[in-house]
A and B are shown apart, each in its own frame.
Chain A
Amino acid sequence: GAGVSQSPSNKVTEKGKDVELRCDPISGHTALYWYRQSLGQGLEFLIYFQGNSAPDKSGLPSDRFSAERTGGSVSTLTIQRTQQEDSAVYLCASSLWDRGRPLHFGNGTRLTVT
């Protein structure tokens, strides 16, 4: 079946602008995660959604970052007033809700802030 879909695949924006990144998880997956992958920084957890529970926002680096998940499916990660240090690949993953279930990742959105 279809995997995790992210859009856009690439985004170039000017410093100070807002951006929205979209994630369509695998159908039936109730858990959704956002990670950030920066050069030399590895994979950094940002935020987690599970069903109707309050999201775990513990990884968001600043209040410029926010995310929502509508209808338990599609998620949008918003970065306001982008800075050059926000340049990275933003990866979305989804899984079935079971602590042993692996995460399935999308191909990511490469964000470049000029």
Chain B
Amino acid sequence: GEDVEQSLFLSVREGDSSVINCTYTDSSSTYLYWYKQEPGAGLQLLTYIFSNMDMKQDQRLTVLLNKKDKHLSLRIADTQTGDSAIYFCAEKDGSSNTGKLIFGQGTTLQVKP
């Protein structure tokens, strides 16, 4: 079945760039998403990209999509302590008509001052 993989932890210094990586298996995925989860909160949509795009930029966030390698990344420029959270990559379930998302395990981003 479909699977989404992420590294579990990333630590960076404030002001540096953070790059969170994700791989997926479903080649029919047409939409890929990044969500942010702060402690005790639900998932906040950060950005998403359609599979006919290679890159999407939104302020400090840059999403890169390599469809050949089924690799997605999220770059956060000038990382701030407020960016500390868990980041989830998700793909639309291509085998389903429901539009449900399949999530990775989440990457915990720690930003050191």
Chain A residues with CB under 8 Å of chain B are: 4, 6, 31, 33, 42-43, 45, 48, 50, 56, 91, 93, 95, 97-108
Contacts and interface: CB of A to CB of B under 8 A. Distances in A.
Contacts of A97: 99
Interface of B: 30-31, 33, 35, 40-45, 48, 50, 88, 92, 96-106
Contacts of A6: 42
Contacts of A99: 30-31, 92, 97, 99
A102 B98 CA distance: 12
B41 to A, nearest CB: 6
B18 to A, nearest CB: 20
Contacts of A107: 40-42
A50 B98 contact: yes
Contact of B43 (A91, A95, A100): A91
B96 A102 contact: no
Nearest to A108: B42
A81 B92 CA distance: 33
B30 A48 contact: no
24 contacts: A4-B42, A6-B42, A33-B100, A42-B103, A42-B105, A42-B106, A43-B43, A43-B88, A45-B100, A48-B99, A50-B98, A56-B98, A91-B43, A97-B99, A99-B30, A99-B31, A99-B99, A100-B50, A101-B99, A102-B31, A102-B33, A102-B45, A105-B45, A106-B42
Q: Which 4 A-B pairs have the closest CB atoms?
A: A105-B42, A43-B103, A105-B43, A107-B42
Contacts of A31: 98-99
Contacts of A33: 100
Given A31-B98, A33-B100, A43-B43, 14 more contacts: A42-B104, A42-B105, A45-B101, A50-B98, A56-B96, A56-B98, A56-B100, A91-B42, A99-B97, A102-B31, A102-B48, A105-B45, A107-B41, A108-B42
A58 to B, nearest CB: 8
